Amino acid sequence: MSFLTLSNIQKSFGPVQVVKDFDMAIEKGEFVSFLGPSGCGKTTVLRMIAGFETPTGGTITVAGRDQTSLKPNQRNIGMVFQAYALFPNMNVAENVAFGLKVAGKPKAEIDARVKEMLGLIHLGHLAERYPYQMSGGQQQRVALARALAPKPQVLLLDEPLSALDAKIRVSLREEIRQIQQQLGITTVFVTHDQEEALSISDRIVVMNAGRADQIGTPAEIYNRPSTRFVANFVGTLNLIDAKVIDPGENRIAIGDQGVTLREPVAPAKAGDTISLALRPEAGSIAPDAKGETALTGEVVSSNFLGSVIRTRMKVGESVISFDMFNSPGLVPPAVGETVTLRFTAGDLLIIRD
Amino acid sequence: MKSSRLLAWIAIAIGALYFIVPLIGTFEFSLRMRRGEYSFDAYQSVFSDLQFRATFGYSMLMGFLTIIFGMLLVVPTAYWVRLRLPQLRPVVEFLTLLPLVIPAIVIVFGYLRLYNSSSWLPLTNSTNGTNLLLMFSYMTLSLPYMYRAVDTAMRAIDVATLTEAAESLGAKWPTIMFRCIFPNVMSGVLSGAFITFAIVMGEFTMAALLNRPAFGPYLQLVGANKAYEPSALAIIAFAITWLSIGLLQLVSRFQKTAPAKA
């Protein structure tokens, strides 16, 4: 039986339904990320798990216990907020001790736990500092320690890295993942940053307009997006229109170039137009490039992006982007040049939605 | 020096003269009680007057009570409006501004009409009842300042997120209110408290019409019957106000909510 279960969750604010029939089962110790654009309902779902919003319909259970109607202070769920939300009148140690004091723990136990938590986030030397004397990254680590101190059943992270600069964001997300694995705590992480979600999650829920469009491991979400939205939202993707030539042989045409797909084209019929997805990193134009499939086109632009050079070429009516790893001797193709992009047929995915 | 800068300095000098010269004149006059030489006789006379001590003590007590009850009314109201009823904010702001628009004499006549000895709540029937009514009058008068001071302090600390953080850690309402919210809006509460105290110490209309022995009516009485003591009292009243403002400045420096470093 799953540890945290969301069954048929719905939420409306007045006439606007922001979460629709949301189902999710999370295992104990799992790290699950809710990924989606602003307004997709991911934070609302998180706030319903925390108890700050009441679902219009559906149930939320933790360890088999129905929590749907419990108040936030009865749920034993830790939460880390985007804006840190440390109590400004308390120093670091007092902030971390707050939940333990509220629970009426003995002083010796509180002191030991605070020390342990500050050790976990490597801020033991800043125990006497006040929030305003600390950087954003330090404050967020304290907020994490404070949420973990009362040993919650579930840890909720509401875009905890959004307010931090890029470098700290990367180091802190690795630290969060390491602490989560060390403690084995069930964690739900909300983010709109696909890189964050892909790098630290066991599973990702890609949300769109109040629904879970796809739930899967980071590799599944990235390599096999099940909807056009997921394909568009996660990573950079070429969406290519193709015409079905022979459904029995899975033969399609991009422009005037025929390609045989690995995936069955059915139920599309001959003459139908289907959407295909191709990652920019899937192919190569190098003379020794491998792959049984090839597309030839004219280069329309070539952009230097640091580690890669992204080139766009026109094939029929579609423009396809592909990446080449940068190296000192690499000469990018010139605009107007005709190039052949090679890739494996399995890299072309059919988007069915 | 540029001419605009010179003009600014002239404006400041005129303004300063406008405020300081009468004050210096009043102070100088208050020292002239003894014929032919400067002395603090007027101050001695004021401080030795039993009525001064009684009215000053009464107004101080009323000031403290007004602050305590005002805090208990305003802090939870401002908190609740900010957290749960933001749509009511314009209404509450309008209500709290009314005492600035409606003259004190109108308010006190309203009170006398509502709470006189033949009304459904005859507060003026007893001394304690009238004292209570006067305290509520002071609370009304100080409402615009108290509410704004507390509301501004709450704006500086994201009340909603702090409340949610405390709730997620298992805290209930009294803990959230007194350990997480109150200490963080204390500078605002104290700012409001000092302004309230200054208002109560100098207020005349409410106390005179409710016939209570407050400092305001005493100032008027002395002013009407004596020569030098009113000037000494005016200086004392100024000193109280400045002390309140000084404390307000001091308190606002103790706030621990400076912005986080990047």
Tell me the pLDDT tens digit for each residue of A292-323: 788 899 999 998 888 888 999 998 888 999 99
**CA B109 to chain centroid:** 21
| Confidence at residue A167, expressed as pLDDT on a 0 to 100 scale | 87
Taking contacts as CB-CB distances below 8 angstroms, the residues of chain A near B262 are: 135-136, 165
Whether B258 has its CB under 8 Å from any CB of chain A: the answer is yes
Which domains, from first to last, does chain A contain?
4-233 (3.40.50.300), 250-351 (2.40.50.100)
Residues B63-85, mean pLDDT to the nearest whole number: 91
pLDDT tops 60 at residue B257? no
Strand-pairing partners, residue A339, are: A297
* B161/A contact by beta carbon, under 8 A: yes
Using 50, 70 and 90 to split pLDDT, how confident is the model at B253? low
Residue B259: pLDDT above 50? no
Residues of B in contact with A102 (CB under 8 A): 169-171, 175
**Touching check for B253 and chain A: CB below 8 Å?**
no
> Are A341 and A320 spatial neighbours (Cβ–Cβ below 8 Å)?
yes
Q: Looking at chain A, which residue has its C-alpha nearest residue B258?
A: A132
Low-confidence stretches of chain A (pLDDT < 50) are none
Inter-residue contact A233 to A37 (CB < 8 Å): yes
Nearest CA in chain A to B182: A89
CA B165 vs. chain centroid, Å, equals: 34
B157 CB within 8 Å of a chain A CB:
yes
The pLDDT score that the predictor gives to residue B254 is 61
Of B166, B180, B258, the CB nearest to A132: B258
Cβ–Cβ of A79/B184 closer than 8 Å?
no
Cα separation, B19 vs A348, in Å, equals: 83
Surface of A (149-188) touching B: CB under 8 A: 150, 156, 165
Tell me the average pLDDT across B48-77.
92
Of A72, A87, A165, the CB nearest to B167: A72
Predicted pLDDT of residue B28: 94
Which domains are seen in chain B, by residue range?
52-253 (1.10.3720.10)
Q: How far apart are CA A68 and CA B61, in angstroms?
A: 50
Nearest-CA distance from B216 to chain A in Å?
Answer: 38
Give the closest-approach CA distance of A40 to chain B in angstroms: 21
Interface test with A, best of B87, B157, B167, B169 (most A CBs within 10 A): B169
CA distance A226 to A353: 8
φ and ψ at A180, to 5 degrees? -60, -40
Query: Taking a contact as any Cβ pair under 8 Å apart, which residues of chain B between 69 and 98 contact chain A?
Result: none
Percent of chain B, pLDDT > 70? Answer: 95
pLDDT in the model for residue B261: 42
Average pLDDT, chain B: 88
A83 and B161 in contact by Cβ < 8 A?
Answer: yes
A127: CB partners within 8 A, 6+ apart: A91, A92, A93, A114, A118
Q: What is the pLDDT of residue A344?
A: 86
Tell me the DSSP string of A70-92: S-GGGS-EEEE-TT----TTS-H
- Determine contact, residues B203/B216, Cβ cutoff 8 Å: yes
A-chain residue closest to B169, CA distance: A99
pLDDT at B38: 92
Distance CA A96, CA A87 (A): 10
Q: Sheet containing A16-26: give its strands across.
A: A16-26, A4-13, A57-62, A65-66
Confidence class for position B252, pLDDT limits 50, 70, 90: low
Rounded Cα gap, residues B53 and B51, in angstroms = 5
Mutation site, A73, A90, A105, A126, interface B, largest B CB count within 10 A: A73
Q: DSSP letters along chain B, please?
A: --HHHHHHHHHHHHHHHHHHHHHHHHHHHHT--STTS--SHHHHHHHH-HHHHHHHHHHHHHHHHHHHHHHHHHHHHHHHHHHT-GGGHHHHHHHHHHHHHS-HHHHHHHHHHHHSTTSSS-GGGSHHHHHHHHHHHHHHHHHHHHHHHHHHHHHTTTHHHHHHHHHHTT--HHHIIIIIIGGGGHHHHHHHHHHHHHHHHH--HHHHHTT---HHHHHHHHHHH-SSHHHHHHHHHHHHHHHHHHHHHHHHHT---PPPB-
Please tell me the predicted confidence (pLDDT) of residue A119: 93
A52 touches chain B (CB under 8 A): yes
- Cβ A135 vs Cβ B259: under 8 Å: no
Residue in A89, A103, A139 nearest the CB of B170: A103
Output the pLDDT for position B246. Answer: 81
Structure-token pair, residue A124: 């033991």
Residues 168-207 of B with CB under 8 A from A: 168-172, 175, 179-180, 183-184
Nearest CA in chain A to B255: A89
Model pLDDT, residue A139 = 94
Tell the burial category of A256 from Cβ atoms under 10 Å away from its Cβ (0-12, 13-18, 19+).
exposed
Question: How sure is the predictor about B262, in pLDDT bands with cuts at 50, 70 and 90?
Answer: very low
A147 inside 8 A of chain B by CB: yes
Q: Using CB atoms, which residue from B157, B165, B179 is nearest to A81?
A: B165
- Write the CB contacts of A196 (distance below 8 Å, at least 6 apart in sequence): A33, A161, A169, A173, A189
**A88:B257 CB<8 A:** yes
Residue A317's pLDDT is what? 84
